[in-house]
Amino acid sequence: MTYLELVFNYGAIPGENELRAIDTMREVYGIRRVQFNAKEHTVRVEFDASRMKQDAVAKLLRNAGIDVREPVALA
């Protein structure tokens, strides 16, 4: 397994239903950790890169109801 981190900007603040969907997503799809930063409106996702790519992670977040925008370049 190869774990990578991605950071995305998001629009609307996620509610209870979205956070529950993310919990389910972590159990099934190889998402190791999801961390929101409300001040910066970003979501950081640690995932198994041997199972999925950046586009798939963004799609899973969108399917969970997160208003994902563009990825943030990590330094």
User: What CATH number does domain 3-72 carry, 3.40.190.10, 3.40.50.11820, 3.30.70.100, 1.10.150.80?
Assistant: 3.30.70.100
Residue 62 has pLDDT above 90, yes or no: yes
pLDDT at 75: 62
Residues making up the chain, counted from first to last: 75
Q: What pTM did the predictor assign? A: 0.87
Cα distances from 5 to residues 15, 53, 69, in angstroms, run 23, 11, 16
> pLDDT per residue over 12-36, tens digit each?
999 999 989 988 887 777 889 999 9
The domain segmentation of the chain, as residue ranges, is 3-72
